[in-house]
């Protein structure tokens, strides 16, 4: 699990009525992923945001739109990743006005990497930038903690990713159909939720292609059950 680097502190209550739960900053102990399929990209994430052992938000949206067909999956400090994606959205908007066309996914990845690397001693953020553009088609870039731009056919991140590397490596294949990629992402995130205490809630997916953007929500009682002997 990615933490904010500070020990968990508890407020044990007082005459002011403060509740006895952890008071450290919210963090996205999380599972995020993105995969390229034949013609587009599927991104997926769980929805749990935690502050220590306290679940601050059980339905967070960790897949953030930064341009028409470019999204960012966020893991790490909730505040840091929200600030980074806000800046990225601003810069991409100005960049597209200068170009008079939509920016590329690669440009978005390098912009957010510059922000992250320049402030690496002050930020706790791991990102996946993915989307579709007319120059390169579908693209996925991993921006790890501390910076770096790594193009990949699939990428996973967050605390839950360590539980599903074997599943993802064994089941990924090139040129999947859209339906195969969507099922692959939902199964992987569901497995991570089952094993990782810092991942949970529901599953959000975003499918991006030349045809547009398609969002899907899988509620907690509808998650795929492919582990535990199912």
Catalytic residues: 30
Decide if 110 contacts 7 (C-beta within 8 A). no
Decide if 205 contacts 40 (C-beta within 8 A). no
The Cβ-side half-sphere exposure at 82, using a 13 Å CA radius, reads 9
184: its two tokens: 């692959």
- Which helix (DSSP H) or strand (DSSP E) does residue 150 occupy? strand 150-151
Which distant-in-sequence residues (6+ apart) come within 8 Å of 63 by Cβ? 32, 43, 44, 45, 71, 72, 73, 74, 204, 205, 206
């Amino acid at each position: 699990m990615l933490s904010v680097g500070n020990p968990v502190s508890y407020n044990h209550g007082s005459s002011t009525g403060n509740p006895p739960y952890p008071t450290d900053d919210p963090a996205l102990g999380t599972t995020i992923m993105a995969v390229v399929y034949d013609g587009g990209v599927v991104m997926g994430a769980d929805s749990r945001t935690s502050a220590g052992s306290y679940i601050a938000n059980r339905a967070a949206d960790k897949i953030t739109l930064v341009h028409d067909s470019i999204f960012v999956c966020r893991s790490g400090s909730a505040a840091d990743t929200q600030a980074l994606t806000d800046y990225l959205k601003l810069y991409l908007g100005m960049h597209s006005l200068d170009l008079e066309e939509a920016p590329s996914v690669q440009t978005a990845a390098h912009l957010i990497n510059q922000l992250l690397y320049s402030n690496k001693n002050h930020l706790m953020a791991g990102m996946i930038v993915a989307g579709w553009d007319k120059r390169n088609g579908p693209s996925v870039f991993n921006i790890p903690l501390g910076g770096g731009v790594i193009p990949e056919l699939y990428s996973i991140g967050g605390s839950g990713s360590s539980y599903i590397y074997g599943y993802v490596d064994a089941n990924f294949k090139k040129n999947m159909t859209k339906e195969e990629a969507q099922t692959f992402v939902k199964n992987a995130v569901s497995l991570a939720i089952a094993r990782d205490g810092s991942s949970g809630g529901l599953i959000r997916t975003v499918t991006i292609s030349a045809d547009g953007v398609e969002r899907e929500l899988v509620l907690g009682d509808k998650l795929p059950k492919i582990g535990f002997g199912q």
